[in-house]
A and B are shown apart, each in its own frame.
Chain A
Amino acid sequence: MALRSRRIDITEQSRPVLARHAKLKFDKARQVWVILVPERVLAPDEIAVEILQLCDGVRTVDQIIDGLAAKYTADRGEIGTDVIAMLKDLADKGFLAEAQDRKS
């Protein structure tokens, strides 16, 4: 639907980055990572932070999953499901963009 063109679908081939209006930041005062979005502050856990830091617009979701599976010597299928679920959740809220869409 053209109206919602900025809402992206997440597949293993996506190269997601945080949208311009979603900022991942370490909150020094509270010593926690936060994602700042309009009217809200989200508190991602450590793994979510690690995934988002890998969303640099160069890596595909596929590569991100490979990297995490290798690092944690974990089942690729399980990791893939979790990573995609988290990214989909963020994308549905409008907080992720495709790399080429991003206005630098």
Chain B
Amino acid sequence: MSPTLTDASPVHADPTDGLAVLEQRKSQAETFGIPLAVLAEVTHRCPLQCPYCSNPVELEGGGTELSTDEWKRVLSELADIGVLQIHFSGGEPTARKDLEELIRHATDVGLYTNLITSAVLLTKNKLAVLADAGLCHVQISFQGSESGVADRVAGLKDAHARKIEAAHWARELRLPLTVNAVMHRQNLFQLPDIIQLAVDLDADRLEVANVQYYGWALKNRAALMPTIAQIDETSRIVEEATERLKGILAIDYVVPDYYALRPKKCMGGWGRQFFNISPSGKILPCHAAETITGLEFESVRDHSIAWIWQNSDAFNRYRGTGWMPDPCQSCEFKEVDYGGCRCQAFALTGNAGNTDPACAKSSVHDSIFKTAMSESEGDSRRFIYRNFAGGTLENDPHEA
């Protein structure tokens, strides 16, 4: 006998890949079986204003959010059709007063629950209540290694100190902890300290995620884009730390695809192994999909989730490889990266059906790369903060 544990998830080049994964065997993937994990963005409300927020620029207001009963029905439906893990995200999921009830219901129907939070609204008691409701794992975002940088990026005073406190509570409650650090030009110099912070907080896992440039981040690209020298240094630091901290801290690293030659296998391929649910109940192929205009997304208010997954035009439009134009169609990597990221293709070329410009085979790759490089060497520092008003430009620190 030789018992084995096969990892059902792939090595994730992108943490969003790790969120939702089908069985690896290709023949099964082709049937578009229901994802193992789903991201539930229960609200777009958030006390933070991070300039790279992955929510759409047009945020959904609180009045359109699914009710408690609607979310509970959705959670039951997800469990019924074979989803195993649910990630409560946002906005800030703890901004919803019914989160405890939703986690309890998810637990009751057999879902494994993960909380993706900024942590600034938590108290020790609130977190304990969520743990009692069955919460299995907490992921806390950090915007820097100390409050100077971190609070400025978050656009919220004392955010960093509150996150540190919440991370300690998570460990006191014996909840496994992931530290998520979104990196860009203005905080990459703190990476070694962020890695040490994750160790000091006794985190199990650290996600070092370079900003992906759609929506809010694209608006802020000139202030966020790292230099090539920074990226080289980052890769070196992550590699060294991964080796040094083996068995102490697992590190997942996401490279910025602007500086790659091959595009990322975004979402594991459009409509293949992932969907997320927006606050108002729209089923989306990725959390940035609404940045693509001209696609219509179905709501859990009108259809069953299984129906939407199989039949939604938004999902079927870019599924598989049949939709691909050249250079993708004749490319040997078309089933490796599935043409990269549709949202990025739309954001940078105006057509979601084009090759992702992150790919060196894209006709606009060189020009976009050069623009990004010159932005990274520029002196633009002020952020456009994420909010419901469409964004607010940071005060000029020199005029303050």
On A, residues with C-beta under 8 Å from B are: 3-4, 6-7, 19-21, 23, 25, 27-30, 34-36, 38-45, 47-48, 51, 68, 72, 74, 78-79, 82-83, 86, 89-90, 92, 94, 103
Contact = CB atoms under 8 A, between A and B. Distances in A.
Contacts of B295: none
Contact of B8 (A7, A29, A34, A48): A34
Contact of A48 (B5, B37, B136, B199): B5
B56 interface: no
A26 to B, nearest CB: 10
Contact of B112 (A19, A36, A47): A36
A41 B84 contact: yes
Contacts of A6: 174
B21 interface: yes
Contacts of A51: 3
Contacts of A74: 1
Interface of B: 1-9, 15, 18-19, 21, 23, 33-34, 36-37, 81-82, 84-85, 110, 112, 114, 136-137, 174-176, 178, 199, 202, 204-205, 247-248
Contacts of B9: 39-41
Contact of A38 (B2, B7, B137, B174): B137
A77 B239 CA distance: 39
A41 to B, nearest CB: 5
Given A21-B176, A36-B85, A94-B176, A42 B112 contact: no
Given A36-B85, A36-B112, A39-B114, A21 B5 contact: no
Contacts of A94: 176, 204
Q: What is the interface of chain A mostly: helix, strand, loop, or mixed?
A: mixed
A47 B1 contact: yes
Contacts of B7: 40, 42-43
B170 to A, nearest CB: 11
B136 A36 contact: yes
Contact of A90 (B1, B5, B6, B199): B5
A103 B131 CA distance: 11
A45 B112 contact: no
Contacts of B4: 44-45, 48, 86
A39 B5 contact: no
Given A23-B136, A94-B204, A3 B248 contact: yes
26 contacts: A3-B248, A4-B248, A6-B174, A21-B137, A21-B176, A25-B84, A27-B84, A29-B81, A30-B23, A38-B178, A39-B15, A39-B114, A41-B21, A41-B36, A41-B37, A45-B4, A47-B2, A48-B3, A51-B3, A79-B1, A82-B1, A82-B2, A86-B4, A86-B5, A89-B5, A90-B5
A86 B136 contact: no
Nearest to B1: A47
Given A38-B114, A39-B137, A82-B3, 7 more contacts: A20-B136, A27-B82, A39-B178, A40-B9, A44-B6, A45-B5, A47-B2
B348 to A, nearest CB: 29
A21 B175 contact: yes
Identify the interface centre among B23, B81, B199: most chain A CB within 10 Å of its CB. B23
Nearest 7 CB-CB pairings of A with B: A29-B82, A48-B3, A38-B137, A36-B112, A47-B3, A43-B8, A86-B3
A102 B84 CA distance: 23
A92 B19 CA distance: 22
Identify the interface centre among B3, B5, B23: most chain A CB within 10 Å of its CB. B3
A92 B3 contact: no
A35 B5 contact: yes
A57 B76 CA distance: 31
Contacts of A41: 8-9, 21, 36-37, 84-85
Contacts of B199: 3
A39 B16 CA distance: 9
A92 to B, nearest CB: 6
Identify the interface centre among A27, A36, A47, A103: most chain B CB within 10 Å of its CB. A36
Contacts of B84: 25, 27, 34, 36, 41
B136 A39 contact: no
Contact of B136 (A38, A43, A82): A38
A90 B5 CA distance: 9
A100 B231 CA distance: 46
A43 B82 CA distance: 15
A87 B81 CA distance: 31
